[in-house]
């Protein structure tokens, strides 16, 4: 058993842990939003690069073909990551009310 004189101090500690956890979870939610925004901006930010690599005239040598393959792999990774991040955000928005 806890000594009665310690109850208030220990409750304050529990309250602090809860408060800090809520702050960190809110920060995590904010970071998720930021990363979704960052991912969403890639096609706009790098539109010229993507258009260059996807141009039929591009790919005339081994380096350009390697760049095409690299972009294709990145596109697959990007689409999967963005979809997963958005799915997590959608679930959190629908189910989490504490932070």
pTM score, whole prediction: 0.79
Burial class (CB in 10 A: 0-12, 13-18, 19+), 67: middle
- The pLDDT of residue 88 is 96
Contacts for 35 with CB less than 8 Å, ≥ 6 apart: 85
- The pLDDT of residue 98 is 85
d(CA 20, CA 5): 24
pLDDT digits (tens, 9 = 90+) for 20-75: 999 999 999 999 999 999 999 999 999 999 999 999 999 999 999 999 999 999 99
Strand ranges, E, within 1-99: none
């Amino acid at each position: 058993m806890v000594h009665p004189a310690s109850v208030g101090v220990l409750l304050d500690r529990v309250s602090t842990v809860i408060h800090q956890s809520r702050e960190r979870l809110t920060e995590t939610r904010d970071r998720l939003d930021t990363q979704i925004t960052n991912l969403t901006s890639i096609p706009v930010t790098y539109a010229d690069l993507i258009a260059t690599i996807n141009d039929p005239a591009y790919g005339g040598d081994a380096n350009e073909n390697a760049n095409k393959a690299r972009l294709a792999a990145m596109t697959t990774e990007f689409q999967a990551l963005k979809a997963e991040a958005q799915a997590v955000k959608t679930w959190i928005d629908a189910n989490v009310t504490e932070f």
